[in-house]
């Protein structure tokens, strides 16, 4: 079995909404568990927060997320970006369009100096995405 690297995003209290949004973009199967289901929070007001969420797509992508309890430090910022890359421009542009909905495009999706089609955006949940469509390589 191969080793996988799976992005795990921390939110304060909107992991459920974010993961439902990402499911609408990428498709796949979404599982979510709350803190209450596992009796994992001392604060009953946090019972509906997401303790663990995983989105697994048919093509093998896995994206995970959770809400951060109020008792834990939460420092959102610009210290994470998620990169999508591949050769299927139709697929990747579909992801791009979905992620851009309600977000901010920082680099338009267009031909880059290195020959690929590339773009950057920040989605409506504040997560930065880089999308790269691999061009033909000369040897």
Q: What is the pLDDT of residue 57?
A: 96
Beta carbons of 98 and 74 less than 8 angstroms apart: no
CATH code, domain carrying 12? 3.10.180.10
Q: Residue 85: give the domain boundaries.
A: 81-133
**pLDDT of residue 68 exceeding 80:** yes
Mean pLDDT, range 25-54, rounded to an integer: 91
Average pLDDT, the chain: 91
Are 35 and 57 contained in the same domain?
Answer: yes
Question: Is 96 inside any structural domain?
Answer: yes
Mean pLDDT, range 23-39, rounded to an integer: 94
The Cα–Cα gap between 72 and 79 comes to 18
The 10s digit of each residue's pLDDT in 100-137 is 999 999 999 999 988 999 999 999 999 999 999 997 65
Question: Is 74 inside any structural domain?
Answer: no
Are 17 and 61 contained in the same domain?
Answer: yes
The Cα–Cα gap between 50 and 52 comes to 6
Structural domain count, the chain: 2
CATH code, domain carrying 86? 3.30.720.110
Q: How sure is the predictor about 43, in pLDDT bands with cuts at 50, 70 and 90?
A: confident
Residue at token pair 């663990």: 52
């Amino acid at each position: 079995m191969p080793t996988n690297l799976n992005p795990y995003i921390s939110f304060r209290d909107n992991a459920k909404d974010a993961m439902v949004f990402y499911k609408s973009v990428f498709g796949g199967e979404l599982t979510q568990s709350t803190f209450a289901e596992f009796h994992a929070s001392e604060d009953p007001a946090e019972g509906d927060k997401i303790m663990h969420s995983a989105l697994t797509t048919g093509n093998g992508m896995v994206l995970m997320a959770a809400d951060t309890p109020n008792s834990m430090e939460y420092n959102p910022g610009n210290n994470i970006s998620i990169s999508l890359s591949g050769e299927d421009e139709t697929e990747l542009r579909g992801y791009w369009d979905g992620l851009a909905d309600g977000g901010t495009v920082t680099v338009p999706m267009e031909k880059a100096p290195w020959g690929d089609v590339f773009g950057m955006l920040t989605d409506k949940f504040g997560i930065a995405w880089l999308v790269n469509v691999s061009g033909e390589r000369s040897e």
